[in-house]
Amino acid sequence: MNKKFIILTASYWSWNNAAKDWIKNYLQESWNKVLVIDLVKFMNEWWKSSELFYRFSSESIPILWQITFIIINSKIFNILFKYYLVLLYSEKFNKIVYDYKPDYIIWTYPCWQSLVWGYINKFKKTFNFWVFITDATISLQRYFDDKYIDKFFVIDYKTKEILAQKLVNRNNDIVSSFFPIEPRYFFEKNELKNNHICILLSWLKNNFLFTFLSKLNNEDFYKRITIIKWRNEKVYNKLKIKFENKKFIFQDFINIKEELKNIDIFISKPGWALISECIAQSVYFISPFYIAWQEKWNVDLIERNDIGFYSKDINKIIDFLKNKYKHIDINNFNKIKNKDSIKYIIESLF
């Protein structure tokens, strides 16, 4: 191919990073040139304040984050936001794009569309522009109503159907591709088991965790429970003191992609990359918490395909882990996953 690509991403978010990494690696293996622009570094000062607001509102005042999402999707906000970012960052962005002269621009994170829009309004559009719909951005159709976006890639056919209803006359431009994951991280299982349960502590609440683990500690239906610290060090240390035993294994970090084939059921907040990686390796997902609006779509995805569920009810979760897991059809995962997703995405461009 020998084409030139720009990937617009944000390194803070794992799902954007994952999509960027998989696509970048595949393109470079085919001798394409790839330039990555990271929003975290490119808009450093704006990003710092945005991140602080995001963490404060989503963790401490969820209703504030819900209201923010509604405002973000309004027409007037998107118009003002476009001009705001263009005013601050278009000169730097335009120079990079103009000098690099890409054949394709790939967007794995929102906000970049404003600068691409600003570039196209100043210069002639000489590249194809396509986006990955991740997380709750499916709800933000204002991000995708610009005619200069050539293709949209989504995780499954239901998402395509919903997005097509939001974007008039764009059905043929929406591609159901699954999330871009390297083929070696797909794994087939014959049945769902409950031997190895993994709990990722990120964002999970103290009261829930202590009560949940106390009850699990009195059960013997599983062989192993792995508890991963992630961004929850204080809670992790307290849990480790109280619960560490032969069946509860505490780890600061694991390579999730490598370990999922040995895990049966994963419990965590439903991040987009994590859910996709679980689907790829047929791992059932239970979410006791999700970020309002932002991750509601992720919960809908796993529940409508019967490959996971959301619940704060500890008794319901334990009942599933002990009994109801047996009723899950392992083929539910195969209806969504696409082992050749990266190849399929790239080949659809040409």
User: What are the angstrom distances between the C-alpha of 131 and each of 36, 106, 285, 294, 343?
Assistant: 14, 6, 26, 18, 16
CA-atom Rg of the chain in angstroms = 21
Q: Which three-class secondary structure state does DSSP give residue 229?
A: coil
β-bridge partners, 298: none
pLDDT at 279: 96
Taking the C-alpha atoms of residue 29 and residue 2, their distance in angstroms, rounded to an integer, is 10
Whole-prediction pTM value? 0.90
Alpha-carbon span 98 to 115, nearest angstrom? 13
Cβ atoms within 10 A of the Cβ of 224, count? 15
Cα(289)–Cα(287) distance, rounded to whole angstroms?
5
Sheet with strand 224-228: strands edge to edge: 248-251, 224-228, 196-200, 265-267, 284-287, 308-310
pLDDT tens figures, 20-53: 888 999 999 988 999 999 998 998 888 888 878 8
pLDDT of residue 55: 77
Query: Domains along the chain?
Result: 4-176 (3.40.50), 184-334 (3.40.50.2000)
Q: How far, in Å, CA of 154 to CA of 209, rounded? A: 33
pLDDT of residue 7: 95
With a cut of 70, which residues of the chain have pLDDT below it?
Answer: 1, 134-145
CA–chain centroid gap for 52, Å, is 20
Can you tell me the distance from the alpha carbon of 266 to that of 197, in angstroms, rounded to the nearest whole number?
6
Can you give the pLDDT at residue 12? 74
